[in-house]
Amino acid sequence: MSVTFGRVGVKHGGSVTVVTDNEQSLRKRMLDATFAVLSRTGRRKLQLLEVAAEAGVSRPTVYRYFGSKEGLLEAFALYEQDNFNVGVAAATAGLRGEERVDAALQFIVDHQFSHSLAVLVDMEPEYSLAQMMRVLPTMQDGMRYIMTGANPEIAAAAVVRIAVCHYLVRGHDRSTFLAELRHAAGLDPHRRRGEVARPSVGKPRNDLRTNDLWALQMKEVPDTVD
């Protein structure tokens, strides 16, 4: 499937504003800067001035786009969720059945081991827990479209909760993490790890709401019974 990233409608106080590509690029740059600052300071000590400096813009520009620190953090949480969804969609593109499931699980493991914001769990555990509780339903719904077998809802819930547990209580064994996810998904825990399709290095992080992206892709490539 093809997904076009161009102009998008963003709601502001009940109205819809058309955002140009340049404005979207600037917004993305500030959200990426938020990622960098959060990984250093945590949420409580985050300052909009530091985000502005990291992004190479003025503090009034950050206020103009996000309104406040809480507005920036809310937008950033959605941005991170969207980036994760796009990553899963890219990792599973063109795959079906167990290969598609395994590619999604491998992406989850790779994402968590490379995601520097895991340091927030140590700095602000209550915030990290609240964020995980917020995204649980969306993640489970997305995984449900990928799962095979007779009980995709149960398998999706188990996979997501195992992943959240590993995020909040970090381990150092990628192979065990992946084996646990595979077992929950009904796959052979010791199957050979395949190559996972990923967006190219340096590709701009996406800044679109993509809660339904998994569903659209999975419906386009239906499973077949061998």
Q: pLDDT tens digits for 143-201?
A: 999 998 889 999 999 999 999 999 888 877 899 999 999 999 999 999 886 644 444 33
What pLDDT is recorded for position 221? 42
Average pLDDT estimate for 3-18: 42
The CATH-assigned architecture of domain 8-220 is Orthogonal Bundle (1.10)
What residue ranges do the domains of the chain occupy? 8-220
What pLDDT is recorded for position 10? 43
pTM: 0.74
Answer with the residue of higher pLDDT: 221 or 178.
Answer: 178
Average pLDDT estimate for 101-126: 88
Residue type, 163: A
In tens, the pLDDT along 46-95 reads 999 999 999 999 999 999 999 999 999 999 999 998 999 899 999 999 99
